[in-house]
Amino acid sequence: MKLYNSETRRVEEFVPYNPSEVTMYTCGPTVYHFAHIGNLRTYIMEDVLEKSLRFLGFNVKRAMNITDVGHLSGDSDDGEDKMVKSATSQNKSVMEIADFYTRAFKADCDKLNIKWPEIVIPATSEVESYIKMIEVLLEKGFAYASGGNIYFDTSKLGEYYRFGKLSADELMVGVRDSVAGDDAKKNKADFVLWFTKSKFENHALIWDSPWGKGYPGWHIECSGISLKYLGEHLDIHCGGVDNKFPHHTNEIAQTEACVGHKWCSFWFHSEHLNDKSGKMSKSKGEFLTLSVLEKNGYHPMMYRMFCLLSHYRNQLVYTKEGMDSAAAAYAKLVKKLSTLGGGEVVDFEIFEKFNKKFKDALSNDLNTSLALTCVYDVLKADTNDSTKIALIASFDEVLSLSLVSAMDGSHELLQETETEISSEMKAWIEEKIAARAEAKKAKDYAAADAIRAELLSRGVEIKDTRDGVEYKIIK
C-alpha cells in the first residue's frame, strides 16, 4: 500500500514494523463540546484508512484517547483547560461533561459507520503512565522543573520540528498563540509536561505527583497511551493537520527522548473541512454538527459520501450545493442498488477483476473517489446481479455507506413512512415544485433537474402525473 507520510513529505510504500500487526494511533476528540462535521471528516478518513489496511490483508491494532483533561484553549501552555471551562459554564462537573460529550461522539461515529477503535482510553485514566514517563525524561535530562511546572527541554534535541519548514518564530508556542511567553521556560519552544501552577487555580482535576498536586499537559497523554497500548514502535499516527504543531511535534520529542529511538514511522494527517467563512472550529462556538445536518433532512450516510468524494489531503469546503449534490447522488445510488436481483452464480473472474481495481484505488494513497467510482463501474458492468452484489458488499467493508442494506432493501431511505412533515417543510417543497414548473415552462431543463435533485437530497421524491406533481417523503 502506498501512503503519504507527512514526516518525509512523500508517498511511500507502507511497511509495518511487525508484519503480523499494524499499530495505529488516533488522537481522540476533546470532549468539551459536540464534534463538528470537520472533526468527523477526520474520523471518517481515519476509519477508511483502518478498514483499507484490513481489506488489503493487514491485521490492525488501533488505539484512541479521549481528551478529558489538559487540552488548553489556544493549544499552548497558557489558557484555561477546555474541559474545566465548559464544565464551569454549564454548571456541571468535568466528568459529567466528559461523559456526555463522549457518548455524543460515539453516537455520531455509529451513525456515520465509523468503527470504534478496539482500544479507547480516557486520558484521565492513565495519569500514572504519564508520571512514569516524565520521571524517565527528568532522569535522562530531557526535562526540568521550573516555577512549579515540569517542562520538556527542546534544546536537548537534534531536530525538534519534523513536518516541513517552520521558522524559529513559528515554533514558539507562546508566540504562535499570541499569548504571553512563560517566564519559567529555559527556551521559548519548551512545553509543559506537568502543571502544578497555572493562571487558573480552579482546575477541578488534580492528581498527586512527585512534583506536587497537579495535572498533565495535553501532549503527554497521547504519548503515554500510545506507548502503553501499542508499544515502542508505532506504525501510523493519525490526526487532523492542525495537530502537526504543537501537538504531534511535542509527542515525537518526548516519546523519542523517553524510548531512545525512532518511534513512529508514518504520520497520516487529514486536511481540514472549512466553511465559506474559514476553518470550522469548536471554540468559535457556532458550527455544524451531524445532528444539524440530520435536522436539515440529510441522512448521515450522505455526509460520509460527501467526504469520500474528496481526497483526504485536500482541503474541503462545505457548501449547501456540494452537500446537496452528494446527497442526491447517494439517494440515487441507494435506489439503484435496491433494484439488483440475485440467485445467480458469482462470476469469480469478474469479481477478481473489479476487486483488484478497488484495491488499487485504496492502495494509491487512499483514493476514495476512485474507489467510489468502482461501485458505479460494477453497476454498469456486463455481468449478473449476484456478482454485482458480491462486489459491492465487498467494497462496502471499506466505504461503509450502508450499501448492503440498500441491496437487501432494509435501508432507511427505502422505507416509506408516514412521516409527519412540518408546515415549513411543506411550504418549502411546494415552493420548489412551483419553481421547477416555472423552469420547465422556460425550457430550462437543467434548472428543473437540479430542483428535482435538491428535493431528492432532502428525501422528497416527486412524480409528474396527469393531475400535477405528486410528492412523497422517502425517509
Binding site for Zn ion (CB under 5 A): 27, 222
Binding flag, residue 27, ligand AMP (CB under 6 A): yes
What type of residue is 34? F
Phi-psi region of 318 (alpha: psi -120 to 50; beta: other; left: phi over 0): beta
Nearer to Zn ion, 252 or 448 (CB): 252
Given ligand AMP, Zn ion, none, residue 334, with its beta carbon under 5 to 8 Å by kind, binds: none
DSSP 155: G
Q: To the nearest whole angstrom, how small is the minimum distance from the Cβ of residue 431 to ligand AMP?
A: 33
User: Closest CB to ligand AMP among 269 and 359?
Assistant: 269
Among 12, 242, 412, 449, binds ligand AMP (CB under 6 A): 242
Q: Which is nearer to ligand AMP, 314 or 422 (CB)?
A: 314
Per CB under 6 A, the list member of 6, 42, 198, 405 interacting with ligand AMP is 42
- Among 5, 6, 23, 30, contact with ligand AMP (rule: CB under 6 A): 30
To 5 degrees, how large is the angle CA 255–CA 50–CA 317?
95
Question: Could you tell me the maximum CA-CA distance found in the chain, to the nearest angstrom?
Answer: 84
Q: Where are the alpha helices (DSSP H) in 140-189?
A: 173-176
Q: Rounded to the nearest whole angstrom, what is the least distance from the CB of residue 25 to Zn ion in the complex?
A: 8
Q: Indicate which of Zn ion, ligand AMP, none lies near residue 302 (CB less than 5 to 8 Å, by partner kind).
A: none
Q: How far is the CB of 59 from ligand AMP (least distance, A)?
A: 24
CB of 104 to ligand AMP, least distance (A): 12
* From candidates 51, 282, 436, 475, binder to ligand AMP by CB under 6 A: 282
Q: Name the one range near ligand AMP by CB under 6 A: 117-125, 155-163, 202-210, 271-279.
A: 271-279
Q: Choose one: 24-32, 86-94, 387-395, 444-452; the region binding ligand AMP (CB under 6 A).
A: 24-32
- Across the beta sheet with 191-195, what order do the strands follow? 143-146, 149-152, 191-195, 215-216
Please say whether the beta carbons of 293 and 317 come within 8 A.
no
> Stretches 39-47, 143-151, 424-432, 461-469: which one binds ligand AMP (CB under 6 A)?
39-47
- Which among Zn ion, ligand AMP, none contacts residue 222 (Cβ within 5 to 8 A by kind)? Zn ion
- Grid coordinates belonging to 279: 476553518
Nearest approach, Cβ of 239 to ligand AMP (angstroms)? 4
Return the residues of window 221-240 that contact ligand AMP according to CB under 6 A. 239-240
Among 34, 41, 87, 455, binds ligand AMP (CB under 6 A): 41
Between CA 111 and CA 295 the distance in angstroms is 14
Q: Which does 39 bind (CB under 5 to 8 A by kind): ligand AMP, Zn ion, none?
A: ligand AMP
Taking CB under 6 A as the criterion, the residue among 1, 3, 16, 29 binding ligand AMP is 29
Part in contact with ligand AMP (CB under 6 A); list of ranges 224-232, 275-283, 351-359, 380-388: 275-283
220 near 151, Cβ under 8 Å? Answer: no
- Residue 77 and residue 191 in contact, taking contact as beta carbons nearer than 8 Å: yes
By the rule CB under 6 A, 243 interacts with ligand AMP: yes
Cell 470532549 identifies what position?
31
Yes or no: say if 16 and 62 are a contact pair by the CB < 8 Å rule.
no
Yes or no: say if 214 and 195 are a contact pair by the CB < 8 Å rule.
Answer: yes
Do 263 and 231 contact (CB within 8 A), yes or no?
no
Indicate the length of the chain as a whole number.
475
Torsion angles phi and psi, residue 268, rounded to 5: -110, 110
Closest CA to 103 of 45, 168, 187, 31: 31
Question: Cβ neighbours of residue 316 under 8 Å, at least 6 residues apart?
Answer: 41, 271, 272, 273, 274, 307, 310
Closest to 327 measured CA to CA, from 204, 238, 450, 207: 450
244 lies in the binding site for ligand AMP (CB under 6 A): no
Residue 448 interacting partner from ligand AMP, Zn ion, none (CB closer than 5 to 8 Å by kind): none
CA 409 to chain centre: 29
Please give the size of the binding site for ligand AMP, defined by CB under 6 A.
17
Query: Is residue 310 a contact residue for ligand AMP (CB under 6 A)?
Result: no
Q: Which candidate, 384, 406, 383, places its Cα nearest to that of 396?
A: 406
Please give the backbone phi and psi of residue 379, each rounded to the nearest 5 degrees, phi first: -60, -35
* Residue 117 touches which of ligand AMP, Zn ion, none (Cβ within 5-8 Å per kind): none
Q: Is 402 in the site for ligand AMP (CB under 6 A)?
A: no
Query: Which of ligand AMP, Zn ion, none lies near 452, with the C-beta cut-off 5 to 8 A by kind?
Result: none
Q: 188 and 175 in contact (C-beta within 8 Å)? A: yes
Q: Is 246 in the site for ligand AMP (CB under 6 A)?
A: no
Q: Is the peptide bond before 246 cis (omega within 30 degrees of 0)?
A: yes
Q: Cβ 105 to ligand AMP, closest distance in Å?
A: 9
Cβ atoms of 256 and 263 closer than 8 Å: yes
| Contact positions vs ligand AMP (CB under 6 A) | 27, 29-30, 38-39, 41-42, 67, 239-240, 242-243, 272-273, 279-280, 282
